[in-house]
Amino acid sequence: MKTYLPPKFIVERDPERCIQCQVCVNQCSFENHYYDAEDDVVRSHEGKCVGCHRCVMFCPTGALTVRRNPLDYRENYNWRSEVIEDIIKQAETGGVLLTGMGNDKGYRIYWDHLVLNASQVTNPSIDPLREPMELTTYLGRKPDKVEIDPNTMSLKTRVAPQVKIDVPIMFAAMSYGAVSINVHESLARAAAEAGTLWNTGEGGLHPKLYKYGANTIVQVASGRFGVHQEYLDTAAVVEIKIGQGAKPGIGGHLPGEKVSAEVSMTRMIPKGTDALSPFPHHDIYSIEDLAQLVHALKEATNYTKPISVKIAAVHNSAAIASGMVRAGADIIVLDGLRGSTGAAPKVTRDNVGIPIELALASVDSRLRQEGIRNWASLVISGGIRCSGDVAKAIALGADAVYIGTAALVALGCCLCQQCHTGKCAWGICTTDLALTKRINPDIGARRLANLLRGWSLELKDILGGMGVNALESLRGNRLHLRGVGLTDTELEILGVRMAGS
């Protein structure tokens, strides 16, 4: 069938600069560039470019420019080019539209409507360059009260297992199979260096990464891939994945092509078979059932590590979160509307779930109202872009955040949203061995650790500016936030006052 899809991008090659070196041909995994041996010249196809800019970045002479195809349809705000092209794709394939990364639609980003406070005159700000500033966070269930033995001055209360992180920023779940082994290694090493945690996602853990266990969160999802005793024992935290912000309510299909020999080993399934994650966990149809799996994992790890439960932020998150905490979760994770994915139906990614800022505020408020906020740590993810977002999240009530997209951008991701094709030219979201080599774990870990260092320094500046010297003083302290350009209802849900009031 002839495709009616117009090229999305146009590649311009400056003939003055191009030296026919074919770097672009080798770098482009989407086969947009090719070498014409007859004419001894490098050319580009139209229509295959996904706009990942790999070739632009690696062209030694700067001969390439990638621009959006102007697509001069008649102006129509309703029938935008994306809408038209989606219809064309489906008319030609009859399938569910797949996509990668997070929701790219124009839903309100509440972080951009929240502003932070600072000290002026009435209390002094603190200069973090010269005074200690505390970002340390302990994840896990906190007791309602602590008892001290007056004779020995030691703690009498049996405290649930806690995991210490030096920065309140962790790497979000990205499974091996979705991302490459070198991405996993980069994340693991950066987490170890920065004193934080990374998350395996639901695809198991490669044996060579077991040594980073103290910095690893392992996931148990509906597919139960690669879940076995050693996997659970190695981890610092075990996370039950119920849902994901990019595709609330639905499971996942890792296509057989991505199940390479190594992926087969960590997922413990035969090579080349589809890895299907069912929509629900079939042993969890209720909060009571969730409690059952939480406690099964506590038994399986002999009560030595916190059990986390991750859900996508949906309409009833607050009530569900209360159930999760009461079910025994030591950490609860909310993944918002803008959370990313290696592959999800576009219709789900773009239309299902609620913004994380609102979910966070309502869950934190609800748990406080019920007097159980201390029973679990609250972690959020889905669209954290900078340390400012982190600070606002902490002030809204989060204990820590996960970053996924930001971490991948640090590794080179340009958000071309082709993760589901497995052809990632940056070597991130692929299991192709040749492409995988494009991420060097030495450099990857350095870039990620640098990012965390930068954000940590910024967080300390923000705290210092507020006149507080510990993240704990900002946590859930919504008086440090004010809203700009929000309705009364939005302010009410966020529990934040209007700027100026």
Interface residues toward another protein, by CB under 8 A? 89-90, 92-98, 220, 223-224, 227-229, 232, 253, 255-256, 264, 268-270, 272-274, 276, 278, 282-283, 292-293, 295-297, 299-303, 345, 420-421
**Tokens 């690893």 found at:** 216
- Decide whether 252 or 355 has the Cβ nearer to another protein: 252
Classify each residue of 408-440 as buried b or exposed e, where b means 16 or more C-beta atoms within 10 Å of its C-beta. Answer: bbbbbbbbbbbbbbbbbbbbbbbbbeebbebbe
Q: How do strand 331-335 and strand 307-312 relate by DSSP bridges?
A: parallel
Classify each residue of 287-326 as buried b or exposed e, where b means 16 or more C-beta atoms within 10 Å of its C-beta. Answer: eeebbebbeebbebbeeebbbbbbbbbbeebbebbbbbbb
Least distance in angstroms from the C-beta of 376 to another protein: 19
- Decide whether 13 or 346 has the Cβ nearer to another protein: 346
Q: What's the CA gap between 356 and 349, in Å, rounded?
A: 14
Least distance in angstroms from the C-beta of 223 to another protein: 7
Least distance in angstroms from the C-beta of 411 to another protein: 24
- Decide whether 116 or 300 has the Cβ nearer to another protein: 300
Least distance in angstroms from the C-beta of 106 to another protein: 24
Least distance in angstroms from the C-beta of 93 to another protein: 4
Helix or strand (DSSP H, E) at 442 = helix 441-466
Least distance in angstroms from the C-beta of 135 to another protein: 34
Q: What's the CA gap between 242 and 249, in Å, rounded?
A: 8
Q: What's the CA gap between 240 and 220, in Å, rounded?
A: 5
- Decide whether 29 or 186 has the Cβ nearer to another protein: 29
Tell me the DSSP string of 175-244: -BTTB-HHHHHHHHHHHHHHT--EE-TTS---GGGGGGGGGEEEEE-TT-TT--HHHHHH-SEEEEE---
Encoded tokens for 327? 């079910």
- Decide whether 226 or 464 has the Cβ nearer to another protein: 226
Classify each residue of 333-360 as buried b or exposed e, where b means 16 or more C-beta atoms within 10 Å of its C-beta. Answer: bbbbbbbbbbbbbbebbbebbbbbbbbb
Residue 167 · residue 194 · CB < 8 Å: yes
Can you name the residues that pair with 11 across neighbouring β-strands?
66
- Decide whether 70 or 94 has the Cβ nearer to another protein: 94
Least distance in angstroms from the C-beta of 206 to another protein: 15
- Decide whether 108 or 282 has the Cβ nearer to another protein: 282
Least distance in angstroms from the C-beta of 268 to another protein: 4
- Decide whether 287 or 296 has the Cβ nearer to another protein: 296
Residue 160's alpha-carbon distances to 98, 163, 199, 245, 377, in angstroms, are 42, 10, 21, 28, 12
Q: By C-alpha distance, which of 184, 221, 181 is closest to 202? A: 221
Least distance in angstroms from the C-beta of 107 to another protein: 24
